[in-house]
Structure 1
Amino acid sequence: MEDADLEQIRKARLEQLKAQSAARGSSGGSGSSQEQAQRQTTAEARKSILNQILEPEAADRLGRIRLVKEQRATDIENRLIMLAQTGQLRQKVTESQLKELLNAMADNKEEEKIVVNRRKGWQDDDDDDLLDL
């Protein structure tokens, strides 16, 4: 069963690569329609691969993440597809495994921090009391 899934993943990737090379090789006036067709083919291949490697609960969680942070969901999908293509996934990814992957990727990524430096003495609210004499 794993071999069949892996073979489907390979076929989807091969179709994706063929679509990319066809789009690069042809030079016609309808470049935008070709790019759109290529994007659609790529999206379908990604969706097919993700359906094969994710359990429904994990796919649902990834969809909710996409609603909030699309770039993070795309990063996770890319990572999962890479793991599947290199044969590092032995079974479908569960929701708990997806959570672990999310935490691992969050640890590797630096958190953005906002630092606010306030200048003391520039404009104090206490000074307003002196004007009400």
Structure 2
Amino acid sequence: MADPELEAIRQRRMQELMAQHGAGNNQNPDQQKAQDEAKREAEDRRQMMLSQLLTSQARERVARIALVKPEKARGVEDVILRAAQFGQITEKVSEEKLIQLLEQINTQTTKQTKVTIQRRRNVLEDDD
């Protein structure tokens, strides 16, 4: 290929990449900042409610769980917040009560693994 042809191909490819990148992000920076700020405020409110609902030991345990399994910690937090919204929690959740809740969640969400062994038959074997 000649040099001008290679340069034309590069330019087309660059334009395609720019179009793809631009199509994925149609928001202007002000809208993006507003969304980020709203997410941050919602997370702050969530953490404030959890600090009111959990004892310090329970909060530490949830933080340790979040280090290993963030989705599980988020699920436990959701369960606690939902219970508080429906008035099922009347006092702060202690570490012991949190452990009981975790055990209940574990029994409900246990995954059953199934192993299937498929043996291949050798086509070239003789059945003598």
Q: Normalising by structure 1, what TM-score?
A: 0.65
Q: Which amino acid aligns with 1:30?
A: D
SS at match of 1:30: helix
Higher relative contact order (CA 8 A, sep 6+): 1
Structure whose alpha-carbon radius of gyration is higher: 2
- C-alpha separation between the residues in 2 aligned to 1:76 and 1:114? 27
Structure 1 residue 116 displacement after superposition? 5.2
- C-alpha separation between the residues in 2 aligned to 1:121 and 1:82? 55
Percent of aligned positions with the same letter in both sequences?
26
Q: In structure 2, what is the equivalent of residue 54 of structure 1?
A: 54
SS at match of 1:87: coil
Q: In structure 2, what is the equivalent of residue 86 of structure 1?
A: 86
- C-alpha separation between the residues in 2 aligned to 1:39 and 1:117? 47
- C-alpha separation between the residues in 2 aligned to 1:60 and 1:29? 36
Structure 1 stretches (4+) deviating beyond 4 angstroms?
Answer: none
SS at match of 1:91: coil
Q: In structure 1, what is the equivalent of residue 22 of structure 2?
A: none
In structure 2, stretches of 5+ residues that fail to align are: 1-26, 123-128
CA RMSD in angstroms, aligned pairs only: 2.0
Q: Which amino acid aligns with 1:63?
A: A
What does 1:16-95 align with in structure 2 at a 5 Å threshold? Answer: 30-95=30-95
Q: Which amino acid aligns with 1:106?
A: N
